Amino acid sequence: MAPTPRSSRAPRTTHQVAVIGAGIAGMAAATEAARCGLKTALFDDGLLGGLIINVNAIHGHPGAIDTTGADLVNTMLGEALEAGVDYQPGAVSELTAANDHWSLPANSVTARRVILATGADLRTLGVPGEEQLTGRGVSQCAYCDGGLYKGKDVAVVGGGDGAFQEALHLTELCASVTMILRSQKPRARPVFVRQAADLSNMHFRWNTEVQEIIGTDGVDTVRLIDSGGKEETLPIAAIFPFIGLTPKTALTNASKDDAGALIIDSHLQTDQPGLYAIGATRAGYGGQIAHAIADGKVAAQAAWRSI
């Protein structure tokens, strides 16, 4: 489909596209939009690269063997800048629609189209002790904090790829890693589950939930309960919860699913015309960086064709 000419009544805007969030999805979208000839702004609230930035070994991304998250992010930011993206470090706190354009008032930017790539936060357990001991034994970054617990017993909560990846990394440093899973069937792909099952210092607690994290200056134990009601107190020095994501979608009141992820059409457009949602912000996101990159390209091209 050929791009339709811009309406002569369209308001003057500072940019044609504004991409909010410079994680993998946002950087891919901004680069593609710029390569489509669109004047593109890219914003980031401080955690450039998002969820992948602290991952030391990326799995499942073509050509990324032995690549760290930080390396990939640097490469992608370089590509974005080279394509001509106007990268503006700084959070976007407000997004409003006006006629045929969008306004980011606090950032002094107006754009014909907005691509929301604000990603997601790692969910927390919400149990007693978790908040008080965060940074003192409760961590959501095994690659950053694992070294602090060298030779000690630790636990990882969750059953997805991320949980298994982080647990596998910890087995290289720690005396033992106990994985605590709510069900008997991990969501992680078999490549990770098989690897974990083969390790002598990896232990599992299936059908089990964390009830409390106990300690004063650091984590001493966790209190667990299984689906049959049996309780256990497990002595550990650290616990790493990876139990899923909460999409960051507060900037818009476009339709969301029960998990708070934005509902999109086949062009990744929300129910608000001109507002696209990609990567971990959107319902049905595939979960891997390859999906995030594909989302970025699909939305950028859809935005380009619609202007």
- d(C-alpha 290, C-alpha 292), whole Å: 5
248 binds ligand FAD (CB under 6 A): yes
Q: Which residues pair with 98 in a beta bridge?
A: 101
- Minimum gap (Å) between residue 41 Cβ and ligand FAD: 11
Pairing of strands 109-116, 275-277: parallel
What are the structure tokens assigned to 92, written together? 């976007």
How big is the site for ligand FAD, counted in residues (CB under 6 A)?
39
Terminal C-alpha separation, the chain: 12
Amino acid identity for residue 115 in this structure:
I
What are the structure tokens assigned to 66, written together? 């032995």
207 binds ligand FAD (CB under 6 A): no
166 binds ligand FAD (CB under 6 A): yes
119 binds ligand FAD (CB under 6 A): yes
- Minimum gap (Å) between residue 232 Cβ and ligand FAD: 26
- Of 117, 168, 262, 303, which one interacts with ligand FAD (CB under 6 A)? 117
- Minimum gap (Å) between residue 163 Cβ and ligand FAD: 8
58 binds ligand FAD (CB under 6 A): yes
Q: Among residues 61 and 223, whose Cβ is nearest to ligand FAD?
A: 61
Q: Give yes or no for a contact between 179 and 196, defined as CB atoms under 8 angstroms apart.
A: yes
124 binds ligand FAD (CB under 6 A): no
162 binds ligand FAD (CB under 6 A): yes
Tokens 């210092």 -> residue: 201
- d(C-alpha 215, C-alpha 61), whole Å: 39
Q: Give yes or no for a contact between 252 and 272, defined as CB atoms under 8 angstroms apart.
A: yes
61 binds ligand FAD (CB under 6 A): yes
109 binds ligand FAD (CB under 6 A): no
Burial (CB < 10 A; 0-12, 13-18, 19+), residue 32, is buried
Binding site for ligand FAD (CB under 6 A): 20-26, 43-45, 47-52, 55, 58-61, 91-92, 117-120, 162, 165-166, 242, 248, 279-280, 287-290, 292
